[in-house]
């Protein structure tokens, strides 16, 4: 997640070096995301055939090499191509990591570990991306890229040496990608789960993308105050994912997901529609982020148990809906703000969150086997 997010604080410096405008330089982030989603769908079934560890090691290694090569790029097209290749490598990592959590850890611990994995999103925003920005300000963005590449290489080495081998996740006869995904989507729960995730990602992305601008215009905030406020909100999200991991270790996960998403949707309304003062708006932002992030480990637990033999492919579909929600949230949020202002944006964010909660209440439930091992959730 640091590889994707570290561009934001470096765009101005990189745009000046390559002599292009900010919108053009911003396409670097799009290049990574556009490759990430299809790569996740294409690569994930291989983790079911050959194991999670090879995909994690190769993906981290590919991210390291592409990031290192990007630090030497002499032109924008070369940089775009290398970021795109990095997205291809990164698409193999996330789904394999989420699937590996369920393979490596017993049922009683999976919720907490999934919470720790989800906390990586918040930690990248709170710690590693600012660290890269500070380093780049001292020694230049190219050395910042090289340091990230070094850490990725060390992570790949650690995964190679420390992750224990596992039997192949699937004992099925080889099947095509089409057969794999068709078998997953035929399950009654697959559609509702993925749709709920898409709706939740739309809500989260639309809010995180446009809330800073709303706060700046409403309270005329200087950037240093805004940065502190956003860091506080990111801390709330981090705490939410960690607490959500404990909740995901217990039965009743669909209700946890629904309750947290419904609460986040309702909190988004006063956050976007009222001006109670900077302090109260910041508090609402923290509570809203905490509520929304509480639901993530529960969702990851549910989707991770959808199909034991095709778990990697399921996580590929999860990554696809994640990226789809990011694209739709950014696009629809901008459209809503342009057409109807803060009211339309609030309707989009709250409506998407309530849709996710409604799906969870109406269509999802789970069954726990007597042995304590979780069966696949069922409708």
Token code pair at residue 83? 């970021």
pLDDT grade for 30, boundaries at 50, 70 and 90: low
**Average of pLDDT values for 161-189?**
82
pLDDT band at 3 (very low <50, low <70, confident <90, very high): confident
Paired with 217 in beta bridges are none
Query: Would the pLDDT of 270 be above 90?
Result: yes
Q: Is the pLDDT of residue 29 over 80?
A: no
Query: What is the Cα–Cα distance from 152 to 159, expressed in whole angstroms?
Result: 10
Contact call for residues 37 and 23 (beta carbons, < 8 A) = no
pTM value surpassing 0.85 = no
CA distance linking residue 300 with residue 310, whole number of Å: 15
Give pLDDT tens digits for 76-128.
899 989 988 998 898 889 899 989 988 899 988 899 999 999 898 888 878 88
Give the residue, 181 or 27, on which the prediction is more confident: 181
Determine what percent of the chain is predicted with pLDDT higher than 70. 92
Report how far apart the first and last C-alpha atoms of the chain are (Å, whole number).
33
Question: Rounded mean pLDDT of the chain?
Answer: 87
Domain annotation for the chain: domains and CATH numbers? 2-169 (1.20.1250.20), 180-363 (1.20.1250.20)
Read off the pLDDT band of 378 (50, 70, 90): very low
For residues 136-158, give the mean pLDDT.
92
How many angstroms separate the CA atoms of 121 and 207, rounded?
Answer: 16
Report, as an integer, the average pLDDT of 159-180: 79
pLDDT (average), residues 223-244:
86
pLDDT for 223 beyond 70: no
Cα separation, 111 vs 36, in Å, equals 25
- pLDDT at position 368 is 39
Q: Among 37, 29, 24, 27, which Cα is nearest to 7's?
A: 29
CA-to-CA distance for 206 and 226, rounded, in angstroms? 18
Is the pLDDT score of 379 beyond 50?
no
Mean pLDDT calculated for residue range 324-344: 89
Neighbours of 309 (CB within 10 A): 15
Residue listed under structure tokens 């109406």: 362
pLDDT at 275: 94
- Using the predicted structure, report yes or no on whether residue 371 has a pLDDT greater than 50: no
- Range with the poorest average pLDDT among 137-146, 165-174, 231-240, 328-337: 165-174
β-partners of residue 378 are 365
């Amino acid at each position: 997640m640091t590889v994707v997010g570290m561009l934001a604080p470096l765009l101005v410096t990189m745009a000046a070096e390559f002599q292009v405008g900010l919108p053009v330089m911003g396409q670097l982030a799009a290049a990574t995301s556009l490759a990430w989603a299809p790569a996740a769908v294409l690569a994930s079934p291989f983790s079911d055939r050959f194991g999670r560890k090879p995909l994690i090691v190769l993906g981290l290694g590919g991210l390291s090499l592409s990031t290192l090569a990007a630090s030497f790029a002499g032109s924008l097209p070369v940089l775009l191509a290398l970021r795109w290749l990095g997205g291809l490598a990164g698409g193999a990592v996330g789904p394999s990591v989420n699937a590996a959590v369920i393979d490596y850890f017993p049922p009683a611990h999976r919720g907490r570990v999934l919470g720790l994995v989800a906390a990586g999103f918040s930690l990248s925003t709170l710690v590693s991306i600012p660290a890269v920005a500070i380093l780049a300000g001292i020694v230049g963005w190219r050395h910042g890229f090289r340091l990230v590449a070094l850490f990725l290489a060390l992570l790949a080495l650690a995964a190679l040496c420390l992750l224990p081998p596992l039997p192949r996740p699937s004992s099925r006869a080889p099947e095509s990608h089409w057969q794999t995904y068709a078998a997953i989507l035929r399950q009654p729960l697959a559609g509702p789960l993925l749709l709920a995730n898409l709706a939740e990602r739309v809500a989260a992305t639309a809010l995180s993308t446009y809330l800073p601008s709303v706060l700046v215009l409403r309270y005329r905030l200087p950037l240093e105050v805004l940065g502190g406020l956003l860091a506080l909100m990111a801390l709330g999200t981090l705490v939410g994912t960690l607490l959500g991991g404990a909740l995901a270790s217990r039965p009743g996960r669909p209700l946890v997901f629904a309750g947290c998403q419904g609460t986040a949707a309702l909190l988004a309304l006063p956050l976007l529609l009222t001006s109670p003062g900077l302090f109260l708006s910041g508090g609402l932002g923290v509570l809203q982020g905490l509520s929304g992030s509480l639901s993530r480990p529960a969702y990851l637990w549910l989707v991770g148990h959808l199909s034991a033999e095709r778990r990697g492919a399921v996580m590929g579909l999860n990554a696809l809906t994640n990226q789809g929600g990011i694209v739709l949230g950014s696009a629809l949020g901008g459209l809503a703000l342009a057409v109807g202002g803060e009211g339309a944006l609030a309707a989009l964010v709250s409506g998407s969150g309530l849709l996710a909660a409604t799906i969870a209440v109406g269509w999802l439930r789970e069954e726990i086997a007597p042995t304590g091992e979780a069966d696949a959730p069922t409708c």
